[in-house]
Amino acid sequence: MKTKTSSILPVLFAIAAGALIPHSATIAASQKAAKPAAHQKATANKKAAAAANALPPLAAETALAANAPALPAKAWLLMDYDSGQVLASANADEALPPASLTKMMTSYIVEQALRSGKLKPTDLVSVSENAWCRGTSAESCMYLPLNSQATVIDILRGIIIQSGNDASKAIAEHMAGSEAGFAKLMNAQAQRLGMTHTNFVNPTGLPDPAHKSSARDLAILARAIIRDGSEYYPIYAEREFKYNGIKQGNRNALLYTDPSVDGLKTGHTAEAGYCLVTSSKRNDMRLITVILNTNSPQARADQSRTLLGWGFGSFEKAIPIQPGAVVSTVKVSFGKADTVAAGLGAPWLLTVPRGTQVQTTVEIKPGLEAPVTKGAVIGKVIATSNGKPVGEAPLVAQAEVERAGWLLRGWQHVMKLFGK
């Protein structure tokens, strides 16, 4: 009997194992199937949430060429750098929270102080407890140590590349004694530049109900940075900066994907959404874009690419009058010469829709009298297309005209009386 039992046991174990193995395989298979399903569900949820947060496409309110894009942001704008002309925009003048785009004004003031000699690149800036970042993930920091000192040029890089709130506060205190004092400098500069829908409260862009700017104003500021700070503008294209042993990358994604982009600044807060100001130069044309309050870093980069692609594809440079050409010969009274040639004082480039035919008309200041200095503005030339003005440029005297002696002037007076 014992022998029979022992011989039956292996059979019973085999039957039991055979029953269990398919069951275990089924569980494992179901677990494997569940993982992709859960992943797909999570991905779908994320996409649904992103779609729910996405803004509707905002169509252009003004556009100087056909087929301007509609972009899902609260405001956007495309500007021609050379003329400052807005080529397309939507909601360009609404005052919105600018987040860290604010730091463009902070860096602009620092750059102008460096140019004027009020600051030197090697000047040391102290880091107060107010300026110091505690190292939280709630704000962007250069990570300046408390009570340390940093050079102005390092602070400037920390503002532009790392978007450091600590760097912005430290330089504000260094230059104006406090953030509030520096905000007065910021608003004075904004007023000087013609930023009519802007009010700065702090140098960082941290949320404040009174801290606002518009897409048009931020484009005006970007243009001023490029125009007035050429020595320091290359910093805006730098992809990374290492300070205090911490290397951080520039958050402007277009610097890594488009070699024509060389600035300027990103911004983000919960209230402001994701913002981006860019500048791109291709051949002889530079364009500035502003995207305010879109829903992701990817969206602000994509929308900027779309605007730049449309802008460079839709516009071209036109030369209404060749440099050195005599535009008009202007009559001069009481001079040793009766006339003076009028021409452009500098090369004149217009940004116009591709294929546009440009015409010009001349307006001369009436009653021009000697003496006339070479280079003096004596009129203007107006460019039009289809009857609409598209730009103008000053006309200047191409030569000096000295005042005549009293005998010649007397004779000229007599000729005037007779209408000659």
137 noted as active-site residue: no
How confident is the model at residue 412, as a pLDDT?
54
Tens of pLDDT, residue by residue over 182-223, are 999 999 999 999 999 999 999 999 999 999 999 999 999 999
103 noted as active-site residue: yes
- Whole-number percent of the chain with pLDDT over 70: 83
Architecture of domain 67-314: 3-Layer(aba) Sandwich (3.40)
Tens of pLDDT, residue by residue over 37-61, are 555 555 555 455 555 566 899 999 9
Of 89, 107, 140, 163, the catalytic one is 163
Q: What is the mean pLDDT of residues 114-138?
A: 91
How confident is the model at residue 405, as a pLDDT?
66
- Give the confidence band of 125 by pLDDT, cuts at 50, 70, 90: very high
Residue with the bigger pLDDT between 330 and 42: it is: 330
Give the residue extent of every domain in the chain. Answer: 67-314, 326-417
Inform me whether the pLDDT recorded for 410 exceeds 70.
Answer: no
Tens of pLDDT, residue by residue over 135-174, are 666 789 999 999 999 999 999 999 999 999 999 999 999 9
Inform me whether the pLDDT recorded for 418 exceeds 80.
Answer: no
Both structure tokens of 339 = 């006339």
Q: In angstroms, how far is CA 52 from the centroid of its own chain?
A: 28
CATH code of the domain made up of 326-417: 2.60.410.10
How confident is the model at residue 349, as a pLDDT?
87
163 noted as active-site residue: yes
How confident is the model at residue 12, as a pLDDT?
36
Q: Cβ(301)–Cβ(55) under 8 Å?
A: no
- Give the confidence band of 277 by pLDDT, cuts at 50, 70, 90: very high
Q: What is the mean pLDDT of residues 371-393?
A: 91
Which of 74-78, 290-294, 385-389, 391-395 is least confident? 385-389
Inform me whether the pLDDT recorded for 323 exceeds 90.
Answer: no
In the 3-class helix/strand/coil scheme, how is 318-374 assigned residue by residue?
Answer: ECCCCCCCEEEEEECECECCCEEEEEECCCCCEEEECCCCCEEEEEECCCCECCECC
How confident is the model at residue 322, as a pLDDT?
87
Q: What is the mean pLDDT of residues 288-303?
A: 97
Q: What is the mean pLDDT of residues 296-307?
A: 97
| Of residues 134, 141, 133, the one with CA closest to residue 164 | 141
Q: What is the mean pLDDT of residues 73-91?
A: 96
Beta-ladder partners of 395: 344, 379
How confident is the model at residue 407, as a pLDDT?
56
Both structure tokens of 114 = 């460096």
How confident is the model at residue 243, as a pLDDT?
95
| Of residues 98, 75, 103, the one with CA closest to residue 211 | 98
Per the prediction, the chain carries an average pLDDT of 87
Each as own residue / partner, the long-range contacts of residues 175-179 (CB below 8 Å, 24 or more positions apart, any chain) are 175/109, 175/110, 175/113, 175/119, 179/130, 179/203, 179/204
Report the alpha-carbon distance of residue 375 to residue 369 in Å, rounded: 15
Q: What is the mean pLDDT of residues 304-316?
A: 97
How confident is the model at residue 342, as a pLDDT?
94
Dihedral of CA atoms 373, 376, 380, 383 in degrees, nearest 10, equals: 110
Of 74, 89, 103, 169, the catalytic one is 103
Residue with the bigger pLDDT between 120 and 402: it is: 120
Report the alpha-carbon distance of residue 150 to residue 132 in Å, rounded: 12
Return phi, psi of residue 5, to 5°.
Answer: -65, -45
How confident is the model at residue 359, as a pLDDT?
92
How confident is the model at residue 52, as a pLDDT?
53
Residue with the bigger pLDDT between 417 and 229: it is: 229
DSSP characters over 165-226: HHHHHHHHHHHHSSHHHHHHHHHHHHHHHT-TT-B-SSSS----TT-BB-HHHHHHHHHHHH
- Give the confidence band of 10 by pLDDT, cuts at 50, 70, 90: very low
Tens of pLDDT, residue by residue over 220-276, are 999 999 999 899 999 999 999 999 999 999 999 999 999 999 999 999 999 999 999
Inform me whether the pLDDT recorded for 16 exceeds 50.
Answer: no
Q: What is the mean pLDDT of residues 368-374?
A: 92
Tens of pLDDT, residue by residue over 88-112, are 999 999 999 999 999 999 999 999 9
Of 89, 100, 168, 304, the catalytic one is 100
How confident is the model at residue 15, as a pLDDT?
37
Q: What is the mean pLDDT of residues 392-406?
A: 87
